[in-house]
């Protein structure tokens, strides 16, 4: 299959908002009111967790279809820890990103716990969001 390229275009909106057009959709990210935002949308870090949940669910549907598993549903509980001192520039020795992302997945399907765990591992292996987060995808940024 040929390689595909996806695009997104973003700009600063009012206050702390960032507006991004991706595909046929617009994502508005903001900061909470206590962080000088208007709370008009999720933070960029919230979007990362949301993207993992979205990717897990999408890939689960693909895998279930391919394996002829009746997947009635999935639920995701995600959490991650970070030290704000890194992103705020208060401490250059502190990493600005997450220390760890934890995902708890509930799978509603007629599978044993071992089969559900195998399904979860396959989802993790095939999820491009997880791949980008765990395999150090090269980032190339430049001035326009």
pLDDT (0 to 100) of residue 136: 85
Across 38-134, where does the E strand assignment appear?
71-81, 100-109
> Would the pLDDT of 126 be above 90?
yes
43-134 under CATH 3.30.300.20, yes or no = yes
Res. 1 pLDDT band, cuts 50 70 90: confident
Which helix (H) or strand (E) is 21 found in, with range?
Answer: strand 18-22
Give me the percent of the chain exceeding a pLDDT of 90. Answer: 99
Burial class (CB in 10 A: 0-12, 13-18, 19+), 29: buried
Distance between CA atoms of 82 and 95, rounded to whole angstroms?
A: 8
Q: Are residues 9 and 20 in contact, defined by beta-carbon separation less than 8 angstroms?
A: yes
pLDDT (0 to 100) of residue 121: 97
Distance between CA atoms of 133 and 74, rounded to whole angstroms?
A: 22
pLDDT digits (tens, 9 = 90+) for 63-73: 999 999 999 99
Mean pLDDT (the chain) is 96
């Amino acid at each position: 299959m040929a390689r595909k390229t996806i695009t997104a275009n973003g700009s600063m909106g009012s206050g702390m908002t960032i507006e991004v057009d991706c595909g046929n959709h617009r994502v508005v990210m903001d900061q909470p009111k206590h962080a000088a935002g208007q709370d008009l949308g999720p933070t960029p870090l919230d979007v990362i967790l949301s993207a993992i949940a979205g990717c897990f669910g999408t890939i689960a549907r693909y895998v279930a279809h391919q394996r002829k598993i009746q997947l009635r549903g999935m639920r995701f509980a995600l959490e991650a820890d970070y030290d704000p001192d890194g992103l705020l520039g208060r401490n250059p020795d502190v990493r600005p990103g997450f220390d760890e992302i934890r995902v708890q997945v509930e799978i509603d399907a007629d599978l044993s716990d071992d089969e559900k765990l195998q399904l979860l591992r396959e989802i993790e292996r095939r999820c491009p969001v997880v791949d980008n987060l765990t395999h150090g995808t090269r980032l190339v940024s430049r001035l326009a």
